[in-house]
Amino acid sequence: MAAIKRPVRWLAGSTAWPVPWWAIVSAGLSPVLLTGGWLVAGALQPASYNPIRQTVSVLAGHAGTDRWVMTCALLLVGGCNLVTAAGLTGVAMPARVVLVVAGLSSVGIAVSPEPVAGSTPHHLTWTALGAVMITVWPAFTARREAPQPRIFSRSGAAAVTAVFAALLCWLVVETQGGSVLGLAERLTSSVETTWPFIVALALWRSSPRAPTPDLPSELPDASHGQEITIRVHCQPRE
């Protein structure tokens, strides 16, 4: 029985990973859903829609055609961020909280669509909050423990955050009458929403693997002078 209990205990304990598989799936789905959403929704718009100049919010706004496509994509992206935050136990709690806020911001953008002309304070607030949260999120994933992947070091997290901040600054500049606002928004959101997936994969790859237990042999070793006696009971035929 002891030989059976050891592998069972090992298998029960081998599931203690820093990030579960469902968190990796949700983190990977987030950029796919976002990019797929604006691609499909953009294809349904009239020829007057210009994805280089106009934002994704137009696709989910009241002026968009089949705006439910982009609205559903934003809701699903927000849900994926919430699921990912719940599973990323390998990062600090502040990083998970920031990712939750980013997910709620995506939901807020979806439920406060833009009107036909202009925007609303609620939509602008959710958009700005989500952009800031997903930009600074890499800084909260920095850890002091070693050894660790370089992206979790202070210098690595700072470098990624600096790149995201530069993309956000470009996006803010384009909001002031720029000619490539839609391109800046799509590129920034696509890059930044991919980072939780990279972090989840890095945590999974760096997690310690449980060693394979050595199962004890039930048969004695004959080379050490021990004898094996086999008894055969024969019954006479009637």
For residue 193, is it within any domain?
yes
For residue 176, is it within any domain?
yes
For residue 8, is it within any domain?
no
Residue 37: which of 67, 61, 81 has the closest Cα? 67
Residue 29: which of 71, 98, 79, 85 has the closest Cα? 79
Q: Enter the pTM of the model.
A: 0.78
The Cβ of residue 155 has, within 10 Å, a number of other Cβ atoms equal to 10
For residue 1, is it within any domain?
no
Range of the domain at 139: 20-224
Q: How many domains does the chain have?
A: 1
For residue 31, is it within any domain?
yes
**121 prior amide bond cis, ω within 30:** no
For residue 6, is it within any domain?
no
What is the pLDDT tens value at each position of the chain, 238 positions in all? 444 444 333 323 333 456 899 999 999 999 999 999 999 999 999 989 999 999 999 999 998 999 999 999 999 999 999 999 999 988 999 999 999 999 999 999 999 999 988 889 999 999 999 999 999 999 999 887 655 678 888 889 999 999 999 999 999 999 998 999 999 999 999 999 999 999 999 988 876 654 444 445 454 454 444 544 545 455 555 4
Contacts by 214-220, CB closer than 8 A, 24 or more apart: 215/3, 215/6, 215/7, 216/2, 216/3, 218/3
C-alpha to C-alpha distance for 112 and 110, rounded to whole angstroms: 6
Residue 204: which of 81, 86, 90, 92 has the closest Cα? 90
For residue 229, is it within any domain?
no
For residue 11, is it within any domain?
no
